[in-house]
Amino acid sequence: GRIRHRGAKNFTGAANFDNLRKFVLLSNATVSNNLKLSVKNPLSLIYVNKDDNSGIAYYNNNANLMVNWFGKMPGLNDSQLPELNFWSDNSQGKVTSGYNADAAAQPYRNKSSYDPCPNGWRVPSALVANLASPTYVDDIRVDFSPFGVRTNMSKNVFEANNYHKIKPTDIGTPSFMTNFKLYPNFGFDLSNAGGLNMGIFPGTGAIVLNAHQGQFTDQHQTTLWTATMARHFDTTPSVGARTLFLIPDKMQPDIPDSGYPDVKGRYWYFPLAGNSTTDAAGCRCIKDPLYVVNEYDFPTEYIVSETEYREGLNNPNTYQVVKNTSAFTVEIPVSKAFSVQSQLLNNKDILNSVNFNNLKANVLWTTNTGLVNNVTVINPSPASLDAISSSKIAVTINPNQSGNAVVTLHNGSITNPVYWSWHIWVTDTAIGSYNYTTELPITSVTNYVNYVPKADNVFQTEFMDRNLGATDAFPVVANPLTPTAAELAKIKASTGLHYQWGRKDPLPIFQYADDRTSYPVYLGNTANGVLTYTTLSAASYNDLAGNYIVPYNIYTNSANANVSAADKISDKVSKVLSYSVKNPLIYMIPSAFAPYNSSNPLYTNGTDWLANEPNLAPDRWGRGGKKSPFDPCPEGWRIPDLTGVMISTGQDFGFTPWYKKDKNAATSYSIITDYLGQRVRRSASASYTIGYMFNDSSYKTGNYPNSGSRGFRSVTANQTATGTYNFINYQYPGVWTAALNSNYIGRPVNILFDAASTANRMIAFHDNNDPYFGMSCRCVKIKYDAEGNEEGVIPKVQITSLPASKPSALLSKNDVQAIKEDKISFFPNPVKEELYIKTPDNREGYYYQIYNMSGQLVKSGKFENGKTNLSSLITGTYLLRINDSKEIVKIIKE
C-alpha cells in the first residue's frame, strides 16, 4: 500500500511510515540478523532497543553512543565496527598515525556489494577514517573530505575561524571559500566554489531518531553520506559516519556578518560533519575510478519494452491565434492523443493500427458559430505508428471572427469515443503580458541569491494579460465607477472560461462578466468537413437532471469509467482521467464530500472530481516540475506554480507569484488600500463588481474580470453544495495555481477575490477549495535556461532591478527595424510548413517568438530537432526572434 509521513491528514489506504520501523532487541542485534532484516524490509528504518524494550540501546549507557542499526559483530569490539566496511571506505575502517600528512590519504578500493549507487558510480569516501586526535579534537584536514574545499586546514581550525559560515559577500573570505552561492531555504550552488565545480545541492532533509521526534524534517537542509565510518584511536565505540551537512536556513536569527545587520539566517557548510549510522540521509554518487580496470563493470540490462509512443506528449492543449481579415488554418498534430492515451491513460490498445485507420475530427462546442469554417484531418489513415506524426487536424478560421471552440479527435466516426480534444482560442487582440517582481532583493548580498528579509524567495513572473479563453484583455477603465460602452464591450470579451482544478478542458461560464447576461454555446456536428450546430443554452447545461452536470457515482459506474473498489490507485486515476478526456464538456461533481474534520476544520480534506479520496495525482498541472501534458495553457505558457504550500502562522511571506511585499499571503487584505487596486463596477445604477484593476507600480499584476466561480463553498466551514453546481458565484471569483496544499489534505490553492461591494478583498494564497470547483486560469510565461530546460519559479540569477511597469506584447519600433540575418539562419524562407534552424553550435534549446509586422506576438515555441511547424500562420511576412534576443529575422509564410 501507500506509505505516508506521520503528518499526513489522510491515511485512506495508506500506512504511517513510522509503523514500518523495526526495533531489534540488543541481544538479538547481530550484523547477520540485522542485515537479513534490512534485505527483507528495504523501506524500514532499523533501530536497536534495550533488551527490556524500554527504549533505544546505547553503548556504555552513553546517550551520545547509540548502538548502530546493524548491531554487533562477534569477534569485533565496538570500536572496530568500521572495519565491516559496508560501503568500501578508502581506509577500510582503520585509523592511521600521521593522518593529516599527504601520504596518509588512502586510495579508493573496489566498490562494495552493499553500495547503493548504480554501475560505474559509488558512494564517495573520506581519505582517512580517523575521527579525532588523541586529545579528542576533530582536526582532520578539510580537503580529506570528498566534499571539502582545497585547503589542508584542519576541521577545528576551519570552524574556529568561522569559515564554515557562508557570509553575504566574499569580502574578507579566503580564496578557497569564495563563490559559495545559496538559495535561502532551498539549497546550495557550489558549481564555482573556490573556483571549482562541486555541483548543486538541493535540500534532502534527514531522519534523526533523537531529534524532531524522529520524523523526516528540515527538508531545506542537505545531509549526504560518505562511505567512511569514522573512529577514534582508542576503544570508544564507533557509531557515526562522515557526512556533508549544509544549512541554508534564513528563518534563524543569526547575523552572519555584522556589516549586514539586517541580513539574517544560518548558512553553514560542514564538509566533515558526522551522523549516527541509524540516521537516514541522502547519497551523492561519484564516478567509480576502478570499475573498468578492476573488471567489475556490470551494465544495466534492460527488459525489452513493449511499443512506446511519446511523440507530441508535451504539445499544448490550447492553440491561441489572433483573428485576421483573411481566412487561415490552424493545424493541430494529433500525435499527442496517442502518446497520452498510451503513456498516461493505460490505453496501449490505441497503438494498434485498427484504432487509427480512419481518423475523424469534430467541433464539440463553440461560442461562435461563425468562427470555424471547416475541420478536417490531414492524413486520416496513417500507414504506421510513425506516420501518425504527419496526421493533423486542420481547423479553418473564418475572417474577422473570434471566440472559443473545442475540437475532438475520433476514429471511424465522431460518435465514437473522444481520443483527445484541443481548445481553439481566437482572440480579438494579441496576447500581452505584465511583468511583476514581488520585491527587489538586497542587491549588495551576492552569496545569498535574491535574499529578502521576509519572503521565502522572490518571484519574477510574466503574467498573461487575460484569463484563458478571453478574447480581449480587461481594459484600463478611465472611470471605474462608470465604464464606457467601449470599455464594457472589452470587459465582456475578457470573461474567459472556467476550469476544474487539474483538468485540461475549459467549461463555458454561460454568463458574461460585464452584465451577467446568459449566453449559449453551440454543439457541433461535422460531416465531411461541413459543420452544423445545435444550441446548448445555459438553462439546459445547468439542469441538474440533464446530461452535463454528472455526479461521481454516475461517471465512475460500470457504464462509464468503470471504477471498482478493487482497482489499483493508478487504475482508478487513469479511468477517471480517461472519462474526463472523453467528456470534455461535462462538469464532474461529487456524490459525497470528504468527511468534515470537526476537531480541526483546517485539516478537512478536499473533495476531488478525480477520486473519492484526496490528493491523488497532485501534479496534474505540473507541480514542482515542468509543464504538464494536462496543462490548459497555450504553447510557451503554463498554470503558475508555487514555491511552498505549508503555511506557518506569521511566516506566510512569498510562496505565490501574486505575493506583495510584507503582506501575509494567506491573509485577506483590502484590494483598494493594501493592494492599491481599483474596483470596477457595472454602472452607477448597477453597482455590482465586474472586475479589478491592479495598475499601481508596486503591484502591477494585470486586470481581472469578475468571472465568478462554479460550485464554490467553504470546505472548512462544512458548507453544503446545495445550489452551487449550477450557479455562478459572483462574490467569490478565483484564479487557480498548479498546487494542492500540504499534508495530503488535497485542497488546491488559488487567489480568491471577495467581490462583495462592501468587501473588495483578496487572498493571494487561498486553499479553502475543492478541486471540483470551476474557476478561471491566468497563465504565466515559461522561462528556459541556456540549455533549453524549463526553469522553475525560483529565479536562478540575481535580480538587480524591477521590470518596466508597462505590459509587454509588442515589439518596439526600434526592434522591428533592427532586423539581422547573420549567425543563425533559417530555411526554407519563404516557408510553408516546417521551418529549420541552423546554428553555429548545433545544439538544442532555441526558443522563438514570431510577431506580425505590427509588432504583435502571434506565435511562440521551441525548435525541436532543429525544426518547428508554422503551418498555423496565415500567409504574410513575419518577424522571428530567438531566445528573447534583440536579433530579429524576417520570414515569409506562404
Rounded distance between C-alpha atoms, residue 852 and residue 875, angstroms: 11
Over range 467-484, report the average pLDDT: 97
What is the model's pLDDT at position 808? 47
Is the backbone peptide bond immediately before 830 cis, with ω within 30 degrees of 0? yes
Tell me the pLDDT tens digit for each residue of 329-377.
Answer: 999 999 999 999 999 999 999 999 999 999 999 999 999 999 999 999 9
C-alpha cell at 75: 569477534
Confidence of residue 869 (pLDDT cuts 50, 70, 90): confident
359-366 and 286-287 beta bridge pairing? unpaired
- Cell 519572503 appears where? 455
- Residue 13 pLDDT more than 90? no
- Residue 591 pLDDT more than 70? yes
Q: Residues, the chain, total?
A: 894
C-alpha cell at 767: 486553499
Out of 160-164, 322-326, 805-809, least confident range = 805-809
Closest to 169 (Cα-Cα) out of 156, 178, 160: 178
Tell me the pLDDT tens digit for each residue of 504-526.
Answer: 999 999 999 999 999 999 999 99
Provide CB contacts within 8 A for 557, sequence distance 6+. Answer: none
Q: Which amino acid would we find at residue 326? A: S
Rounded distance between C-alpha atoms, residue 778 and residue 729, angstroms: 18
Tell me the pLDDT tens digit for each residue of 603-647.
Answer: 999 999 999 999 999 999 999 889 999 999 999 999 999 999 998
- Residue 819 pLDDT more than 50? no
- Residue 479 pLDDT more than 60? yes
The DSSP element (H or E) to which 15 belongs, if any, is strand 14-16
Over range 300-310, report the average pLDDT: 88
SS3 602: helix
CB 427 within 8 A of CB 622: no
Rounded distance between C-alpha atoms, residue 764 and residue 459, angstroms: 13
Count other Cβ atoms within 10 Å, centred on residue 596. Answer: 13
CATH of domain 810-893: 2.60.40
Rounded distance between C-alpha atoms, residue 708 and residue 753, angstroms: 9
Burial class (CB in 10 A: 0-12, 13-18, 19+), 172: exposed
Rounded distance between C-alpha atoms, residue 319 and residue 374, angstroms: 16
What is the model's pLDDT at position 833? 86
**φ, ψ of residue 15 in degrees (nearest 5):** -120, 150
Rounded distance between C-alpha atoms, residue 642 and residue 461, angstroms: 11
Tell me the pLDDT tens digit for each residue of 174-203.
Answer: 999 999 999 999 999 999 999 999 999 999
What is the model's pLDDT at position 843? 64
SS3 sequence of 398-410: CCCCCEEEEEEEE
Q: What proportion of the chain, given as a percentage, has pLDDT over 90?
A: 85
Rounded distance between C-alpha atoms, residue 245 and residue 270, angstroms: 5
What is the model's pLDDT at position 126? 98
CB 652 within 8 A of CB 646: no
C-alpha cell at 167: 557570509
- Residue 539 pLDDT more than 90? yes
Closest to 892 (Cα-Cα) out of 868, 874, 867: 874
- Residue 812 pLDDT more than 60? no
- Residue 384 pLDDT more than 60? yes
What is the model's pLDDT at position 522? 99
What is the model's pLDDT at position 823? 64
- Residue 845 pLDDT more than 80? no
Eight-class DSSP state of 386: G
Closest to 606 (Cα-Cα) out of 511, 758, 409, 740: 740
What is the model's pLDDT at position 806? 46
Q: Which amino acid would we find at residue 451? A: Y
CB 389 within 8 A of CB 333: yes
Confidence of residue 856 (pLDDT cuts 50, 70, 90): low
What is the model's pLDDT at position 816? 40
Closest to 759 (Cα-Cα) out of 696, 665, 674: 674
Rounded distance between C-alpha atoms, residue 47 and residue 18, angstroms: 12
Kindly report the average pLDDT of the chain as a whole number: 94
Over range 561-586, report the average pLDDT: 98
SS3 content of the chain, % helix, strand, coil (to 5): 10, 30, 60
**φ, ψ of residue 615 in degrees (nearest 5):** 70, 15
- Residue 817 pLDDT more than 70? no
- Residue 94 pLDDT more than 80? yes
What is the model's pLDDT at position 268? 99
Provide CB contacts within 8 A for 840, sequence distance 6+. Answer: 823, 824
Rounded distance between C-alpha atoms, residue 878 and residue 298, angstroms: 54
The DSSP element (H or E) to which 814 belongs, if any, is helix 813-817
Confidence of residue 842 (pLDDT cuts 50, 70, 90): low
Over range 445-468, report the average pLDDT: 97
Over range 124-138, report the average pLDDT: 97
- Residue 676 pLDDT more than 90? yes
Confidence of residue 440 (pLDDT cuts 50, 70, 90): very high
Closest to 807 (Cα-Cα) out of 699, 706, 678, 701: 701
Burial class (CB in 10 A: 0-12, 13-18, 19+), 52: exposed
Over range 18-40, report the average pLDDT: 98
460-464 and 392-397 beta bridge pairing? unpaired
Query: How is the chain split into domains, by residue range?
Result: 1-75, 76-287, 452-515+582-808, 810-893
C-alpha angle 565-570-573 in degrees, rounded to nearest 5: 80
Annotate 12-80 with DSSP letters as a single string.
Answer: TTEEEGGGG-EEEEGGG-BHHHHHHHHHH-TT--EEEE-TTSSSB-BGGG-TT-BPPTT-B-TTS-GGG
Rounded distance between C-alpha atoms, residue 334 and residue 346, angstroms: 18
- Residue 216 pLDDT more than 60? yes
**Within 13 Å of residue 833, how many CA atoms lie on the same side as its CB?**
6
